Amino acid sequence: LKIAVLVSGGGTNLQAIIDHIKSNKITNTEITVVISNKKDAYALTRAREANIAAECISPKDFKVREEFNEALLKTIDSYEVDLIVLAGYLVILPEIMIKKYQNRIINIHPSLIPSFCGSGFYGLRVHQEVLNRGVKVTGATVHFVDEGTDTGPIILQKAVEVGEEDTPEILQRKVMEEAEWDILPLAIELIANDKIAIRENRVIIQRD
Ligand code: GRF
């Protein structure tokens, strides 16, 4: 399975995928390219250190959004990948790309969808809202990307206890360490081994 990983930040989810492939917990899979909208994203450094092609394509470099959309899609197409993984990628994907790669784009979101998700819910804001609401359990979700925001079929979820002393930073770290870095590589492995089927917008996992 050839994958493109799209990133905007520190790349700890990317690193988890790199490490799982290296320790061949995920077989027959390679990260073909890492693409960021931020040239200083540490995720690009992680890619280079792992000898993975690293590209920066930023909306800021284009006069009109349509040109960015076309450049992003053209670049991804050029790598001929089977799966696109959004790992902390903060740019809205072009419709044309979601259609072309239907059910071949997955995203990791740091909450138990459908709670605490949708436009505006990303990064620390998610965890701030979790603490404000006083929920006892949060977690992370890997889902297929469709035209909506955080609305595609759910592949995997993992719960994380919310501590009474947790700050948004502590909670974000717990959700990443205990959930995100676990279920994102696992979702990729399931897809690589063809264990995923979608029926009426629900994901069926073939567990043998
Ligand atoms: C984090 O907020 C994580 O919860 C979300 O994307 C952000 C950056 O993650 N998935 P990463 O360290 O760049 O993978």
In the block, which residue shows the tokens 């909306």?
59
Task: Give the Å distance between the CA of 177 and the centre of ligand 1.
Answer: 11
End-to-end, the C-alpha distance of the chain in Å comes to 20
Residue 208 has pLDDT above 90, yes or no: no
| Residues forming a β-bridge with 137 | 161
Helix (H/G/I), strand (E/B), else coil: 16: helix
With a pLDDT cut of 90, the percent of the chain lying above it is 96
Residue 84 has pLDDT above 90, yes or no: yes
Which helix (H) or strand (E) covers residue 186, if one does? helix 181-192
112 lines ligand 1 (CB under 6 A): no
180 lines ligand 1 (CB under 6 A): yes
ipTM: 0.95
Mean pLDDT of the residues in the chain? 97
Which helix (H) or strand (E) covers residue 106, if one does? strand 105-109
The DSSP result for 51-77, as a single string, is T-EEEE--GGGSSSHHHHHHHHHHHHH
Kindly report, residue by residue over 143-176, the tens digit of the pLDDT: 999 999 999 999 999 999 999 999 999 999 999 9
Residue 207 has pLDDT above 90, yes or no: no
Catalytic residue, candidates 20, 109, 127, 143? 109
- The CA distance from 109 to 145, in Å, is 11
